[in-house]
Structures are given as structure tokens and as C-alpha cells.
Copies of this chain bind each other. A is one copy, B any other.
Amino acid sequence: MGRVPPMTTRDTIRVSEIFGPTIQGEGALIGQPTVFVRTGGCDYRCSWCDSLHAVDSEYRDTWKAMPPEDILAEIEKLTGGKPIMVTLSGGNPATQPLDRLIEQGKAKGYSFAMETQGSVVKPWFADLQMLVLSPKPPSSGMGTDWRVVANCVRTAKAAPTVLKIVVFDEADYAFAREASERFRELPIYLQPGNHTPPPPEDDSATVDQEGIDERMRWLVDKVVEDKWYGARVLPQLHVMLWGNKRGV
């Protein structure tokens, strides 16, 4: 390999897509206007992944290596230069060197929320406006190392941190209960899974919204039945409004 400027190797971020402003469709910040920066690459392969185009290395050629300055310039273009909350998503954005993007964005008034499964820890978690930890339940086919999740929580320090668990079935629900028991101090959001995620190359694929709604109602019943009054149950609002369509 030839010599490359150190800054480029250290700071270049793999980006799958940047889009918005639209509203955050999920979790604690639901309904909040935001720009999404979706990074490429993931250490997980969830069976029901709804963002395979940002996960599977088969789509690597659609990802772009970008320095933080260029990403921020793109965000500013989208927002007309008016500061907004930026959502860092993926893939697993924790695998990317996002520290300088966050630092530069904050200097211009932007704030950053990030969603990650909690499998990779980075010191800059502490600079986020919100860290959403989303350990993956059994239906994903993935396993969770709770010590790493706990390390994410510790590393986030004063940054508001919440749990978000996708729930497809009873086993996933039990997993959510366990997560909540392990991190009693964290607010928890439950989200009914989408069993009709888009194939990576077809974001016009039909969503079984009625099936998802049915799961949502089941989840509300579960929470009520178990008197789990501290949990919040929220759907994927963007799927309700726009189906599997990307960029909204």
C-alpha cells in the first residue's frame, strides 16, 4: 500500500446514504426532524435486517469513503445550513470513526443521535445528544455480549442513553425484559418487528402493515398484562407512512 495522508486513513467514514430532513420514525426521538447519515458496514447480519444495502459487503460499491468535512457539507446542503439533529445509523455506525464529524457538527450547532446494537464501544459516545442501544433479540439470529453493552453505557457517561428492542415473538419479548432488568436505569422502547423488510435492491417491496399493527397490538397487550408500565411501545412511523421506501 502506498503512503496516504494520515488524516484520511484515520477519519474517512464509509457512508451508504445521507438523506433528509425527514422525521425520525422510531424510538425516543420519534417525530423529530432529522437528517440521517447511514454508514456502510456491520458486524452483525440480522435475519430480518431492513437495511441490508448498508450492511452486506455485496453492496460495498454503493458506499462512499467520505471525510467528515464532506459529510457535514452534504448535511448543511440538505438543511439549508440550519442546525438540526443528525441521526447516525447503519449498518453499525459505531464501527466508523465519527468523532470528528460530531465535533465539527457540534461546533456549528448540530447535535447527533446514534443507534447501534452495542457491540462496539467508542469514547465519542459521550459526545452524543442521545445514544440508542439496540441489542438484537433471538429472532435476529445474533448473540449479545452484555459486558460490551454495559461498557457502551459506561462510556456514554452523561449522554442520555436508552434501550430499544425490536420484538417479533415471545422469545424476543423475554429478551427485552432481560435487557430492562440488566439496565434498570435506562428508559426502554419496544418496537414491533417488520417481517416484510425490503430486499436491498427493491425499496418498493410491499409492507404487511396490518401484520405489523397486529404485532404492535399484541405487544401493547403483553406490556399491560405484565404491568410493565415503564416500557414504551412505539411503531416504525416511517414504515406506516411511507412503507419500505428509502430516503424518507
Contacts and interface: CB of A to CB of B under 8 A. Distances in A.
A31 B189 contact: yes
A82 interface: yes
A239 to B, nearest CB: 12
How many monomers of this protein are in the complex?
A: 2
A228 B33 contact: yes
Interface string A24-49: 00000011110000000000000000
B83 A21 contact: no
B227 A79 contact: yes
A234 interface: yes
Interface of A is mostly: mixed
Nearest to A227: B82
B223 A33 contact: yes
A224 B22 contact: yes
Interface of A: 20-23, 30-33, 79-80, 82-85, 189, 213, 216-217, 220, 223-224, 227-235, 237, 240-242
What 7 A-B pairs have minimum CB-CB distances, sorted nearest first? Answer: A31-B232, A31-B234, A33-B229, A84-B229, A82-B227, A21-B224, A31-B233
19 contacts: A21-B227, A22-B220, A22-B224, A23-B223, A30-B31, A30-B232, A30-B234, A31-B189, A31-B233, A31-B234, A33-B223, A33-B229, A33-B233, A83-B229, A213-B240, A217-B241, A220-B241, A234-B237, A235-B237
